[in-house]
Amino acid sequence: MPEQAVAGRQLTMAEAVREAIAEEMRRDPTVFLMGEDVAEAGTPFKVLKGLLEEFGPERIMDTPISEPGFTGIGLGAAMTGMRPVVDIMFGDFLFLALDQIANQAAKVHYMSGGTLKAPIVIRTTLGATRRSAAQHSQSLHAIVSHIPGLKVALPSTPYDAKGLMKTAIRDDNPVVIFEDKMMYTVKGSVPDGDYTIPFGQADVKRSGDDITLVATSSMVFVALAAAEMLAKEGISAEVIDPRTTVPLDVRTLVDSAIKTGRAIVIDEGYQSYGVTAEIASVITEGAFYNLDAPVRRMGAMDVPIPFSPALEDLTVPTADRVAGLARELCRKGN
Amino acid sequence: MTAPNGQAWLDMYASMLRIRLFEEQVNDLYTSARMPGLAHLYIGEEAVAVGVCAALRDDDYITSTHRGHGHCLAKGASVDRMFAELLGKEAGYCKGKGGSMHIADQQKGNLGANAIVAGSVGIATGAALSAKKRGTDQVAVCFFGEGALGQGLMYECMNMASLWKLPVVYVCENNLYNEYTHYLETTAGDISQRAASFGIPTHESDGQDVRGVHAAAAEAVRRARAGEGPSFLLFRTYRQKGHHVGDIDRAYYRSKEEERKWAEERDPLKVFGEALVAEGVFDAVAFERVEEEVRTQIAEGVKFALEAPYPQPEEVAMDVYA
């Protein structure tokens, strides 16, 4: 069932993330947070506002502007008994820290024959249309999803944001968790008290019979809006959010495609060699003989993200375009 | 820590000899095609690893490099499981999944050798942050070669270590060569000044003198344990062999005369052994006994590793996730 139906308080995405971190820090003294402007500033998006007052500068640590350095330091702390949450302000800055994430954190458990562990959470952002241009707008979850040893989570609702963050902090592996910066003020129901969401468990955000729309993070609302448009035309779309790209809930995606016979994968990462390609491929391999149409991908355009609103909005899938493609696939199948 | 006595010096000598004979055996295994992969030998630099690790407790941390066999052994790794790892055997420290460049030994605080130059500076600094946060008096030592001075990560981490007064000791082994290039071709200015500019106390001395290395390390470790923050130790040493075992023809980057001089006049085992004999700490009998013990250990270790089984195929997909 969609989480919107769960009874509870209305929290914004930012409040849900903050509450998850605060509760985990109260529960476990080894959890701490570090990154640029996380303390007094509470990040530029104010997601962490108030944590410094409760936990103090020893546990909410402002760092220099040194992504590789503080990611590496977080990793060393994780390998020796702590559970750091490392804040990388913009997903684009992951590239600066990739050696520490991909060559170090991802591999330490395997390379050590299973003796060392790296329970580190890297929380960062994704998403365009904020008029931030090419170096502050990318959605780079495919890059880290490609590296064995990392887990990757992408919440699309306040409920998921809280539950996935708690799971990430308690996981014994390095987890990269992406939040859509455009969704921090979106509200949703979040129940009181402690809960976690297991990784590798997709969520059916809307049930349907004619076509499956697999969507991640920012694209879940795009897919839901498309499904609403399609419903008025008599096309019943199922919207599924994998919630984690690693591990991926292949079963739920394939079963839905077998049921509907059609699928579109919508994701804000660059389309080529991206998350849409991997998920489309997995669905095709699992559901091929039940498909009425080719599985289609809708990712971000393969261009550096432009500044001008007139151009930037063209680079990201929209509900109109998702609905248009869905219509086309449903017509062909009939 | 009390000043080492005669027995402690003998132990350090034995530890240096163990590394030397281990590496000679690695060379033999490699050149006789019994060892796969790469081998970066530490021969000529033994005094640094041994002098520094002798100043540490078992629960102190180290991180090491691609040229890491010496650091791992000096921190207490056993010869048999080291050889087993180098040969890719199940009994190795990493079940054969890490190999020569990735030996980690959690029991002895070894957080892993690292095949990315300067790749472990963050890990060592983070282990120091962790020790401070957990309220222990553990110290972390980060071993690296002068080649790592080219990586920006080094300076980011030293900055934070100094800001936060972390119990970490940065140990730079200047063996003169970044792979096949003399460090003066790649390194501007004064090395120690780079650390000093972060407000980190520095020390520079002869890396072939294990007692000098040990004294400097003991002071840096004392400072770190007492909460006085990081130190930077720079030791002048020499890689007697090539960048790796296959680097035989070295004439294009250094002279035979230079190699001869370091091997004959500045060899750390020779320097230390002769000094111990001259001071009467070590007589011929003791020397022979130590050498025999170490040779036996090496021979048994190699035998163990050669006879040990390879990992089972199903092991390939295990340990990707904890």
Measured in angstroms, the CA of A93 and the nearest CA of chain B are apart by 15
DSSP letter (8 states) at residue B110: B
Which tokens in the block code for residue B9? 């010096």
3-state helix, strand, coil in chain A (%, to 5): 40, 20, 40
Counting other chains too, the contacts that B246-252 makes at CB distance below 8 Å and 24 or more residues apart are B246/B38, B247/B180, B250/B180, B252/B180
Phi/psi zone of residue B258: left (φ > 0), alpha (ψ -120 to 50 degrees), beta? alpha
Determine the residue of chain B that is closest to A175 in CA distance: B321
Within a 10 A sphere around the Cβ of A34, how many other Cβ atoms? 23
Residues of B in contact with A109 (CB under 8 A): 319-322
Q: Cβ of B321 under 8 Å from any chain A Cβ?
A: yes
| Interchain pair A109, B322: CB under 8 A | yes
Using DSSP's 3-state secondary structure scheme, residue A148 falls into: coil
pLDDT for res A206: 98
Paired residues of A121 in beta bridges: A85, A175
Residues 101-140 of B with CB under 8 A from A: 102, 104, 106, 111-112, 114, 116, 119-131, 133-134, 140
- Asked if the C-beta of B277 comes within 8 angstroms of chain A's C-beta atoms, the answer is no
Residue span of the structural domain in which B42 resides:
6-308
Q: What span, in angstroms and rounded, lies between the C-alpha atoms of A104 and A120?
A: 12
Q: What angle (nearest 5°) sits at the alpha carbon of residue B89, between those of residues B83 and B93?
A: 60
Q: Give kind and range of the element (H or E) at residue A268.
A: strand A263-270
User: Do A113 and B94 make contact, defined as CB atoms within 8 angstroms?
Assistant: yes
For residue B61, being part of any structural domain is answered with: yes
Percent of chain B with pLDDT over 70: 99
Task: Report the residue of B93, B123, B157, B316 to disrupt the A interface, i.e. the one with the largest count of A CBs within 10 Å.
Answer: B123
Over the range A106-117, which residues count as b (16 or more CB within 10 Å of their CB) and which as e?
bbbbbbbbbbbb
Helix (H/G/I), strand (E/B), else coil: A1: coil
For the stretch A289-334, pLDDT in tens is 999 999 999 999 999 999 999 999 999 999 999 999 999 999 864 4
Residue B115 lies in a domain: yes
A64: nearest CA partner in chain B: B160
* Residues A179-229 pLDDT 10s: 999 999 999 999 989 999 999 999 999 999 999 999 999 999 999 999 999
Option in B121, B123, B319 nearest A113 (CB) = B319
B59 in contact with chain A, both atoms CB, cutoff 8 A: no
User: Given a cut of 70, is residue A3 above it in pLDDT?
Assistant: no
pLDDT at residue B75 tops 70? yes
Which residues lie below 8 Å from residue B214, measured CB to CB, with a gap of 6+? B4, B12, B50, B51, B52, B54, B55
Q: At what angle do helices B210-225 and B46-53 cross, to 10 degrees?
A: 40
Catalytic residues of A: 136
CA distance to partner chain A, nearest, from residue B305 (Å): 17
Closest CA to B183 of B221, B237, B220, B232: B237
Closest of A276, A290, A285, A287 to residue A322, by C-alpha: A276
Interface of B with A in 196-255 (CB under 8 A): none
- Mean of pLDDT over chain B: 96
Q: Is B317 a domain residue? A: no
Q: What is the 3-state secondary structure (H, E, C) of B146-215?
A: HHHHHCHHHHHHHHHHHHCCCCEEEEEEECCEECCEEHHHCCCCCHHHHHHCCCCCEEEEECCCHHHHHH
Counting residues of chain A whose pLDDT is more than 90, the rounded percentage is: 96
Cβ distance B130 to A74 less than 8 Å, yes or no, reads no
pLDDT at A332: 61
What's the rounded Cα separation, in Å, for the pair A42 and A89?
A: 11
- What local confidence, expressed as pLDDT, does residue A6 receive? 52
**CB contact B61 to A (< 8 Å):** yes
Judge whether B316 lies within some domain: no
Residue of higher predicted confidence among B1 and A153: A153
Radius of gyration of the CA atoms of chain B, in A: 19
pLDDT at B158 over 80: yes
Q: Mean pLDDT, to the nearest integer, of B218-236?
A: 98
- Is residue B1 one of the residues assigned to a domain? no
> Distance from A5 to chain B by nearest Cα, in Å?
34
Phi and psi at residue A191, to the nearest 5°: -70, 155
Q: Cα Rg for chain A, rounded, in angstroms?
A: 19
Give the CA-trace dihedral at A35, A248, A155, A148, to 10 degrees.
10
Phi/psi for B15 (5° steps) reads -65, -40
H helices of A83-218, in order, are: 94-98, 108-111, 141-145, 158-170
pLDDT in tens, A154-163: 999 999 999 9
Q: Which whole-number Å values give the CA distances from B274 to A48, B70, B98, B282, B284, in the listed order?
A: 62, 21, 37, 9, 11
Contacts of A104 in chain B (CB under 8 A): 114, 116, 119-120, 122-123
Per DSSP, the residues of B207-241 read TT-HHHHHHHHHHHHHHHHTT---EEEEEE----S
CA angle (A27, A29, A35) in 5-degree steps? 105
- Has residue B191 been placed in a domain? yes
Is B315 a domain residue? no
For chains A and B, count residue pairs whose Cβ atoms are closer than 8 Å. 148
Residues of A within an 8 Å Cβ radius of B = 30, 32, 58, 63-64, 66, 68-82, 99-100, 103-104, 108-117, 119, 148-149, 151, 172-173
Distance, CA of A47 to CA of A42 (rounded, Å) = 6
Residue A72 to residue B126, Cβ atoms within 8 A: yes
pLDDT of residue B284: 85
Question: ipTM above 0.90?
Answer: yes
Contact A264, A326 (CB under 8 A): yes
User: Cα distance from B155 to chain A (closest Cα, Å)?
Assistant: 8
Asked whether the predicted pLDDT for residue A4 surpasses 70, the reply is no
We report the CATH number of the domain holding residue B220 as 3.40.50.970
B93 at the A interface (CB within 8 A)?
A: yes
Please report the pLDDT score of residue A1 as a whole number.
Answer: 39
Residue B319 — very low, low, confident or very high, per pLDDT cuts 50/70/90?
Answer: very high
Residue from A80, A82, A85 whose CB has the most chain B CBs within 10 Å, to mutate: A80
- Please name the residues in contact with A87: beta carbons below 8 A apart, sequence gap of 6 or more: A33, A34, A35, A36, A38, A43, A48, A123, A124
**Residue closest to A145 by CA, chosen among A90, A216, A210:** A216
Residues of B in contact with A115 (CB under 8 A): 93-94, 104, 106
CA atoms of A268 and A216, how far apart (whole Å): 8
Question: What's the structural domain count of chain B?
Answer: 1
Nearest CA in chain B to A66: B156
CA distance A73 to chain B (A): 4
Whether B157 and chain A come into contact, CB under 8 Å, resolves to: yes
Residue B273 domain-assigned? yes
Among B154-168, B193-207, B276-290, the minimum mean pLDDT is found in: B276-290
Which residue of chain B is at minimal alpha-carbon distance from A83? B130
Contacts of B66 in chain A (CB under 8 A): none
Q: Indicate whether B1 pLDDT > 60.
A: no
In this predicted structure, the answer to whether residue A2 has a pLDDT above a threshold of 80 is no
Question: Is B321 close to A71, i.e. CB distance below 8 A?
Answer: no
β-strand pairing of A263-270 with A175-180: unpaired
Cβ–Cβ contact B148 with A under 8 A: no
Q: How far apart are CA B94 and CA B106, in angstroms?
A: 11
CB distance A275 to A269 below 8 Å: yes
Q: Extract the tokens encoding A179.
A: 């939040």
Q: How many CB atoms lie within 10 A of CB B135?
A: 6
Q: How far apart are CA B41 and CA B242, in angstroms?
A: 8
Inter-residue long-range contacts of A2-6, CB under 8 Å, 24+ positions, other chains counted:
A2/A203, A2/A204, A2/A205, A2/A206, A3/A157, A3/A159, A3/A160, A3/A188, A3/A189, A3/A203, A4/A157, A4/A188, A4/A189, A5/A189, A6/A159, A6/A189, A6/A191
Show residues of chain A in contact with B77, CB under 8 Å.
none
Pairwise CB contact (< 8 Å): B126 & A74:
yes
Question: And the tokens for B224?
Answer: 């770190």
Closest to B311 measured CA to CA, from B114, B34, B105, B85: B85
Number of Cβ atoms within 10 Å of the Cβ of A3: 20
